[in-house]
Amino acid sequence: MSRPSDSDLIARDRRRVWHPYAPPSAYPLFEVVAAKGVRLQLADGRELIDGMSSWWAAIHGYGHPHIEVAVRDQLERMPHVMFGGLTHEPAVRLCERLVAMAPTGLERTFLCDSGSVAVEVAIKLAFQYWLSLGRPERSRLLTVRGGYHGDTFATMAVCDPVNGMHDFFRDVLPDHLFAERPTCRYHDTFEERHIADLMRLLETHRDEIAAVILEPIVQGAGGMWFYAPGYLRRLRDLCDEHDVLLIFDEIATGFGRTGRLFGADHAGVSPDVLCVGKALTGGTLSLAATLASGRVCDAIAGGQPGALMHGPTFMANPLACAAANASLDLLETEPWRKQVAHIETELARQLAPCRSLGAVADVRVLGAIGVVELHEPVDMSVVQPAFVEQGVWIRPFGKLVYTMPPFVIADEDLAVITKAITSVVSSLA
């Protein structure tokens, strides 16, 4: 049912559209008509500073001219072509660049449509690797609690099984192994006890496990938890010792969000498989990628059927590849490291007062990520309109009120975001 303040578009939306993580008729909804720089323009004339980078993707802001020109030029030449049996310059160049900038040892890139699909491909690679080697019993995954890897069935099965967004489906998902999440905060000194539970599971189930999969340094939508680089270094050693593949899901952490190009760079380690997405195109078009080591590629090529059995229809879409190449151009030429370091400093300083608020359990900052964790989940029907009234777009979930602003955000706009977070969280007390 429409409400008195609904625009015609929102009323139509509620009759026919289904939004993410929402009932069939979503509330609240806000009609957006334009996006430029770090601002969203609503149909009623209000402007909102985007503190979410459109779910962490629009790292350069909206409408960056370099990306727009690249997409426009590609549109005039070839907007799409199937990638089965055909190839094109934007895709090849992008794959070359991703391999060159990724952690060492990753040799080949599979392009796909979304982050969830990139993780699906990574999981399929791990399973097919062991099938190709004649080890079909290696059919389980090991991960850590508090993780989030996507909304498709294979990815749901490695999201946190209790406190994640998919516990409702627990009984129909494959049975994988879950270790305690890393308890060592980012600046803590890693100790062996921090990984003892995962080590125990590796030793007990080594002949069943195809791969360990986790988000390096930052657990994203599963809890916005930041943990010590030493954990990843020890994990790499353990995977080597037990002959288990290691998959890093860098959908959220890739392309500078944590202050390093990849989360893996904080630890100086390389996975066997790496997933990227979200910011790959600067938030312009949907594109993701799965990178694999020579070890994985050689095993699959040498087994049966000798090919990776996956093929999205819009794989390597030329428009998306052109946008991704343009976004990588900006990461090579713009001072994003300096920008992210500055955002980190300001977020830490400006969110610090939230620590004294009664509703707040924790405040943590890493790179261009600021998190205020509450004791109780928020009521989105109350909190979302409150942020809009403050002139910002912040999309909390569960107990987490957080911001991941575009790297190009100005100080005065960042201050508006942090002031709004403090104000809204204060009202919850």
pLDDT score recorded for residue 169: 85
Give span(s): CATH 3.90.1150.10, the chain: 31-60+336-428
**% pLDDT > 90, the chain:** 94
Residue 353, pLDDT > 70, answer yes
| Residue range 101-114: mean pLDDT, rounded | 98
The larger pLDDT score, comparing residue 179 to residue 21, is at: 179
Which tokens go with 292?
A: 């694999």
Residue positions annotated with a catalytic role: 21, 148, 249, 278
User: Which residues have CB under 8 Å from 308's CB, separation 6+?
Assistant: 110, 121, 124, 125, 128, 300
User: Percentage of the chain surpassing pLDDT 70?
Assistant: 98
- Residue 305's pLDDT band (boundaries 50, 70, 90)? very high
183 has pLDDT over 60: yes
Mode of pairing for the β-strands spanning 47-50 and 106-112: unpaired
Q: What is the pLDDT of residues 41-82, one digit of tens each?
A: 999 999 999 999 999 999 999 999 999 999 999 999 999 999
Nearest to 233 by CA among 184, 279, 275, 280: 184
φ, ψ for residue 372, nearest 5 deg: -115, 110
State yes or no: pLDDT of 5 exceeds 70. Answer: no
Q: What CATH number is given for 67-333 in this structure?
A: 3.40.640.10
- Given a contact cutoff of 8 angstroms between Cβ atoms, the answer to whether 111 and 289 are in contact is yes
Superfamily (CATH) of domain 31-60+336-428: Aspartate Aminotransferase, domain 1 (3.90.1150.10)
Residue 282 main-chain phi, psi, to 5 deg: 70, 20
Q: How confident is the model at residue 170 (pLDDT cuts 50, 70, 90)?
A: confident
Identity (one letter) of the amino acid at 107? E
Contact 237, 227 (CB under 8 A): no
Residue 254 CB contacts under 8 Å (≥ 6 apart), including other chains = 261, 262, 263, 276, 277, 278, 279, 280
What are phi and psi for residue 4, nearest 5 degrees?
-55, -30
Across residues 5-22, what is the average pLDDT?
91
pTM above 0.85, yes or no: yes
- Find the Cα–Cα–Cα–Cα dihedral 178, 179, 180, 184, rounded to 10°: -130
Answer yes or no: is pLDDT of 253 > 90: yes
Residue 120: what are its φ and ψ, rounded to 5°? -55, -45
pLDDT of 127: 97
d(CA 116, CA 151): 6
Span 347-361, mean pLDDT?
A: 97
Q: Where in the chain is the domain with CATH 3.40.640.10?
A: 67-333
Q: What's the pLDDT at 1? A: 38
